[in-house]
Amino acid sequence: MKALAHFVMRGYSQAALVAAVSALLSMLMPLLGLISSASVGLVTLRNGARAGILLMLLSTLGAGVFAWLALGSLWPALGVLLVFWLPVWALAVVLRLGRSLDLTVQLAGLGGLLLVIALFTLVGDPTDYWHQLLEPVRQSLLKDGLVEADSSQAMFAEIERWMTGAFAAGLVLQSLVGLFLARWWQAVLFNPGGFGQEFRALGVGRVVGGLFLVLLGWVLMGAGAGAAAGLLPVSGVLLLLQGLAVAHGVRHIRNAPRGWLIGLYVLMVFMPQMGLLVACLGLVDVWLDIRGRMARRTSKSG
What confidence tens digit (pLDDT) does each residue in 49-105 have?
999 999 999 999 988 888 888 777 878 888 889 999 999 999 999 999 999 999 999
Q: Alpha helix (H) ranges present in the chain?
A: 2-8, 12-25, 32-47, 49-71, 75-80, 86-98, 101-122, 127-143, 149-190, 194-200, 206-221, 225-254, 259-270, 273-288, 290-301
pLDDT of residue 127: 82
pLDDT of residue 123: 79
Quote the mean pLDDT of the chain. 90
Q: Is the pLDDT of residue 225 over 70?
A: no
Instruction: Residue 19: name the closest of 109, 84, 68 by CA.
Output: 84
Q: Is the pLDDT of residue 234 over 60?
A: yes
* Burial track 181-202 (b if 16+ CB lie within 10 A, e otherwise): bbbbbbbbeeeeeebeebbbeb
Which value, to the nearest 10 degrees, does the dihedral of the CA atoms of residues 171, 176, 179, 185 take? -120
Give the residue-averaged pLDDT of 154-179: 91
pLDDT of residue 183: 97
- 292 vs 296: CA distance, rounded Å: 6
Nearby residues of 226 by Cβ (< 8 Å), 6 or more positions away: 120, 125, 127, 161
- 191 vs 276: CA distance, rounded Å: 33
In tens, the pLDDT along 101-142 reads: 999 999 999 999 999 999 888 877 788 888 888 888 888 888
CA gyration radius, the chain: 21
In tens, the pLDDT along 21-40 reads: 999 888 888 889 999 999 99
Instruction: Residue 219: name the closest of 236, 240, 239 by CA.
Output: 236
Instruction: Residue 111: name the closest of 54, 46, 44, 176 by CA.
Output: 176
In tens, the pLDDT along 248-275 reads: 999 999 888 888 899 999 999 888 889 9
pLDDT of residue 229: 87
Give the model's confidence band at 223: pLDDT under 50 very low, under 70 low, under 90 confident, else very high: low
pLDDT of residue 67: 83
Give the residue-averaged pLDDT of 200-228: 87
Give the model's confidence band at 302: pLDDT under 50 very low, under 70 low, under 90 confident, else very high: low
- Cα–Cα distances in angstroms (integers) from residue 153 to residues 125, 126, 137, 200, 295, in the given order: 18, 17, 12, 43, 50
- 60 vs 20: CA distance, rounded Å: 7
Q: Is the pLDDT of residue 244 over 90?
A: yes
